Amino acid sequence: MKAQHIINRHWCKGCGICVAFCPKNVLELDMEEKVVAVRPEDCIGCRVCEFRCPDLAIEVIVEREHERAA
Amino acid sequence: MDISIKDYIRKRFFPHLWCPGCGHGTVLNNLLRAVAELGIPKNQIVMVSGIGCSSRISGYVDFHSLHTLHGRALAFATGVKMSQPHLNIIVPMGDGDALAIGGNHFIHACRRNIDLTAIVMNNRIYGMTGGQFSPLSGKGILATTAPFRNLDPAFDTVNLAISAGATFVARTTTYHFKEIKEYIKKAITHKGFSVVEILSQCPTSFGRKNKLASPVEMLKFFKDTTALLGSKRLEQGPDLIPRGIFVDKEVPEYTEEYQKLIKRVQKNT
């Protein structure tokens, strides 16, 4: 599975909700307190970050193996 | 964010004015998903709100929207519904807006069973005006107007709505985002007055005073202090706040009864 994290840095306020509740520790806040996907290869595509984000600032696009094959 | 969600917002007003980590953004996020999944066209939805942090939500959605007087959102919404009964009307309110200044409108909308979807975004504080306690803050809470802890007990929104006659009543929190979407979907589809209470975090005005300074801590607090109706956890923890659907019943709806009345009276003339 391959996941792409589209982050709107202009909308992100760095509250850290996505960072704290990511089950695989994929996300971190950078020096500017904006979220970045530092370990995208660990992402399981649950999209909890996207659904909890109060700022609509993160979107996860998940490409699953069978979809890539097809 | 799905493409369908982006279509439902007024992007020019983003980033929104809510504080970092404000739960109201999570309510907006999942409300949009609920509407998108129901597939309701934008011009079939009216969002009516009052005054407060929560009420700013009507500015961010690309539906018909009315930003009205403090506490009077349900009165305006009743007017819209009476004149355009085919529209879906969503009324997001804050705790002070819905149950302090708007308390009377709230109980009477419940009593009439008019087909509106009321969403009470309960952060237990007046955030916009500087953190005064509200009728939902509860005993023992610290607020700028209660520096020695609040004496007033809180309303229970769910019990109040049920006893006033609402025909769909649910409660969840911003931690439980799936429930927000599911309950709002059911509330919109429900014919009659529906109330969804969503416990929401205000890290700025409520959290800082009450040892829950970060939004993450506040979400964990919601996870730890609530339990689903019918769960073992709730049975074993009588102090937990129950979440779930408390009432979902069919009762004649007000605008339909009104149409019947018109027909009956016109026949006699």
What is the spatial distance between Cα B269 and Cα B267, in angstroms, rounded to a whole number? Answer: 6
Which of B26, B30, B35, B214 would you mutate first to test chain A, the one with the most A CBs within 10 A? Answer: B26
Residue B213 is predicted with a pLDDT of 83
Chain B residues touching A20 at Cβ < 8 A: 216, 219
> Scanning every residue of chain A, which has its alpha carbon at the shortest distance from the alpha carbon of B204?
A15
User: What CATH number is associated with residue A13?
Assistant: 3.30.70.20
Q: Which two tokens stand for residue B39?
A: 């597939």
Predicted pLDDT of residue B177: 98
Q: Give the integer Cα–Cα distance in Å for B163 and B181.
A: 25
Dihedral through CA B142, CA B91, CA A56, CA B243, nearest 10? 60
| pLDDT by residue, tens only, chain B of 269 residues | 555 788 999 999 999 999 999 999 999 999 999 999 999 999 999 999 999 999 999 999 999 999 999 999 999 999 999 999 999 999 999 999 999 999 999 999 999 999 999 999 999 999 999 999 999 999 999 999 999 999 999 999 999 999 999 999 999 999 999 999 999 999 999 999 999 999 999 999 999 999 998 999 999 999 999 999 999 999 999 999 999 999 999 999 999 999 999 999 999 77
Return left, alpha or beta for B100; rule: phi > 0 is left, psi -120 to 50 is alpha, else beta.
alpha
pTM above 0.90, yes or no: yes
Asked if B19 lies within 8 A of A59 by C-beta distance, the reply is no
Number of domains in chain A: 1
Interchain contact, B29 vs A52, CB within 8 Å = yes
Q: How far is B177 from chain A (nearest CA, A)?
A: 7
The reply to whether omega before B147 is within 30° of 0 (cis) is no
Q: Which domain holds residue A43?
A: 2-69
Confidence of residue A69 (pLDDT cuts 50, 70, 90): low
Q: Which CATH number fits domain B3-267: 3.40.50.970, 3.40.50.80, 3.40.50.300, 3.40.630.10?
A: 3.40.50.970
Q: Are A44 and A1 in contact (CB under 8 A)?
A: yes
Domain boundaries, chain B: 3-267
Q: What is the dihedral of CA A9, A22, B244, B166, to 10 degrees?
A: 0
Residues 6+ apart with CB under 8 A from B242: B158, B171, B226, B227, B228, B229, B234
* Record: contact A55-B5, CB cut-off 8 A: no
Question: Cβ contacts (< 8 Å) between A18 and chain B: which residues?
Answer: none
Any B CB within 8 A of A51 CB = yes
Neighbours of B255 (CB within 10 A): 20
Phi, psi of B176, deg, nearest 5: -95, 70
B1 and A10 in contact by Cβ < 8 A?
no
- Pairing of the two strands B45-49 and B241-248: unpaired
Q: How far apart are CA B86 and CA B121, in angstroms?
A: 25
Which of B251, B219, B230 has its CA nearest to residue B27? Answer: B219
Mutate to test the interface with B, among A9, A13, A25, A58 (most CBs of B within 10 A): A13
Q: Is residue A67 pLDDT above 70, yes or no?
A: no
Across chain A, mean pLDDT equals 92
B228–chain A Cβ distance below 8 A for any pair:
no
pLDDT at B215: 97
Q: Which pLDDT tens digit goes with each residue over A7-31? A: 999 999 999 999 999 999 999 999 9
Checking if the pLDDT of A3 tops 70, the result is yes
pLDDT digits (tens, 9 = 90+) for A28-49: 999 999 999 999 999 999 999 9
